[in-house]
Structure 1
């Protein structure tokens, strides 16, 4: 659902850019509360994984494909604020390096694919977790539902933006029906990928899933014939917690294989937005991408004749750049939180006169 340049007029694109910048600023502050020494590196990995899986277009209807948006997955794994940042990093890398999603439409894409998907998915996820029985199955089920509904929600958000600033005179009702209809099908694929990924991480390291915090039930002891809560154990220091290195390495290798090898077998059909745009005429004023001459534009390395090798190398480059940029950003965010905590500790320990 990467909106290219020319779909939305300049005033609305600017307004969406301001809104997206505000959302990113709020998310930077919120992410400081979500990230710790273990999850900060994993957030960069989540961004890279989303980049890789977005290369795997899957068929959803005759001549139409879909791909992961990733907002639900990121929000559940690393938190909603960090999730917005993860998707924003992916969209920025795709726009600058791979000519995927217009640069003037970056604000629209972050708003639709990042903010809207995260808000809808996480709200539904948290609501279901509160009413479903406590357990891993409930987390996976809630993740499925949140991801499923976030995609048509994003399609509706794009339609609303198009209604205000579309550059073509197409009836909004037709655009809405077509966009939501095809993205309901894409949402099923999104839900399957999200639930499978969240379930896989839950199976090995539930402590690393933000949405599963508080999943463990209190230990019960029988005292004088009655069950009572066992005393709460002291929190384990971060330095003494289980290493996240195996998860990080496994996740990175998986992302590299998906982007470098499996992506070659992805569907070549246009995705939901491209198909609707072509069928309804929304793309009448589409503009050439400013990064069309990038060495890796369109997910192929210039000068490499073999299509499989070219696409695989581009995918590997994309995963590498995204994980480096994402990890760097989240490391800085985490470092600022730690500095703020140190200042607070210092100020409270200094005796007053």
Structure 2
């Protein structure tokens, strides 16, 4: 759902840019509380993983494809504040290096694909956690539903922005119906990817999943008419049992992202994604503009000068994962370093 240049007029694009900048600034402050010794090394990995999986367009209808947005996945794995920053890093790398998503529309894309998806998904996820069983299955089910709902919510947010600042005169009701229809289908794919990923991390290191913290409640026993905590016992589904460095998870995640972006992406669907399809069908792309970075050597996820399409796309994917990993890791470690003096000062 990368919005290109020319879909939204300049004033509304600028306003969305202000909203996105404010969201990133607030998220930087909030992320300092989330980026502990376990989350900080993984946050950059989450951004790189989202970048890789976004290259894997999957078919959802005749002539239409979809791809992961990633807001729900990032928020559940590393926290909502850090999740917004993860998606912002991904969108920035895609826009600047790969000409994917307009530069003047960067604020729109961060707002729609980052802020809206994270806020909607994490709020719903936390609500579901209150009513679903406090088990790994409950967390995975909550992640599935939250991711599913976040995608049409993002589509509705784009439609609202287009209603205010769209550059073509198209009936908004038709745009909304078309956007919601196709993005509900894309949301199913988003939900499956999110649930599988969260479930996989829960299976090996549940203590690294931000959304699974406090998963198990202490068993209560009635003694002399009063409820007391039972003695700790080995749980069927221990959440905090795993400990130590997340190095193995980090290495496994990096390898997986490189394989997805460098190899599996060649087999992704070539059909236009949901927004592109709706834009073409409804005519909202009539004033779309060429990307300012169209001449980039990595534009359209290929390496300039490499004739083999498979090799060109694979190299671009590997480069994208590496750059996103480096940019994200640098940002999150910087935020982590700023957290420590503040915490120290608070204790004095």
- In the superposition, the TM-score normalised over structure 2's length comes to 0.94
Deviation of 1:218 after TM superposition, in Å, equals: 2.4
Map of 1:350 onto structure 2 = none
Does the 8 A contact of 2:91 with 2:109 survive in 1? yes
Distance in 2, matches of 1:270 and 1:190, equals: 17
Deviation of 1:227 after TM superposition, in Å, equals: 8.5
| 2:94 counterpart SS class | helix
More off after superposition, 241-250 vs 213-222: 213-222
| 2:286 counterpart SS class | helix
Map of 1:160 onto structure 2 = 160
For residues 288-336 of structure 1, give each alpha carbon's deviation from its aligned partner in whole angstroms, at most 9, with x where no partner exists: 1011111101000000000000000000000000000000000011111
Deviation of 1:38 after TM superposition, in Å, equals: 1.5
Distance in 1, matches of 2:139 and 2:90, equals: 25
The equivalences for 1:162-181 within 5 A come to 162-181=162-181
Distance in 2, matches of 1:341 and 1:30, equals: 13
Give the RMSD, CA atoms, in angstroms. Answer: 1.9
Map of 2:319 onto structure 1 = 317
Distance in 1, matches of 2:17 and 2:220, equals: 52
1:105 aligns with 2:97: no
Structure 2, unmatched stretches of 5+, are: 234-241
Map of 1:10 onto structure 2 = 10
Map of 1:140 onto structure 2 = 140
Distance in 2, matches of 1:85 and 1:214, equals: 24
Map of 1:63 onto structure 2 = 63
Distance in 2, matches of 1:148 and 1:184, equals: 7
Map of 2:150 onto structure 1 = 150
| 1:13 counterpart SS class | helix
For residues 207-233 of structure 1, give each alpha carbon's deviation from its aligned partner in whole angstroms, at most 9, with x where no partner exists: 000000001332679989x99425789
Map of 1:253 onto structure 2 = 255
Deviation of 1:341 after TM superposition, in Å, equals: 1.4
Deviation of 1:3 after TM superposition, in Å, equals: 0.1
Deviation of 1:132 after TM superposition, in Å, equals: 1.1
Distance in 1, matches of 2:243 and 2:129, equals: 26
CA gap of 1:272–1:294, structure 2 versus 1, over 3 A, is: same
The equivalences for 1:1-353 within 5 A come to 1-218=1-218, 228-230=228-230, 241-345=243-347, 347=348
Aligned length: 340
Deviation of 1:343 after TM superposition, in Å, equals: 2.2
More off after superposition, 335-344 vs 22-31: 335-344
| 1:330 counterpart SS class | helix
| 2:56 counterpart SS class | coil
Distance in 2, matches of 1:219 and 1:51, equals: 41
For residues 133-188 of structure 1, give each alpha carbon's deviation from its aligned partner in whole angstroms, at most 9, with x where no partner exists: 21111100000000000000000000000000000000000100100100000000
Distance in 2, matches of 1:122 and 1:221, equals: 33
Distance in 2, matches of 1:117 and 1:264, equals: 27
Distance in 1, matches of 2:218 and 2:10, equals: 55
Distance in 2, matches of 1:230 and 1:102, equals: 57
Deviation of 1:276 after TM superposition, in Å, equals: 0.4
Distance in 2, matches of 1:106 and 1:30, equals: 22
For residues 43-72 of structure 1, give each alpha carbon's deviation from its aligned partner in whole angstroms, at most 9, with x where no partner exists: 100000000000000000000000000000
Deviation of 1:118 after TM superposition, in Å, equals: 0.5
Distance in 1, matches of 2:7 and 2:229, equals: 59
Distance in 2, matches of 1:300 and 1:65, equals: 20
| 2:285 counterpart SS class | helix
| 2:65 counterpart SS class | strand
- In the superposition, the TM-score normalised over structure 1's length comes to 0.93
| 1:321 counterpart SS class | helix
| 1:282 counterpart SS class | coil
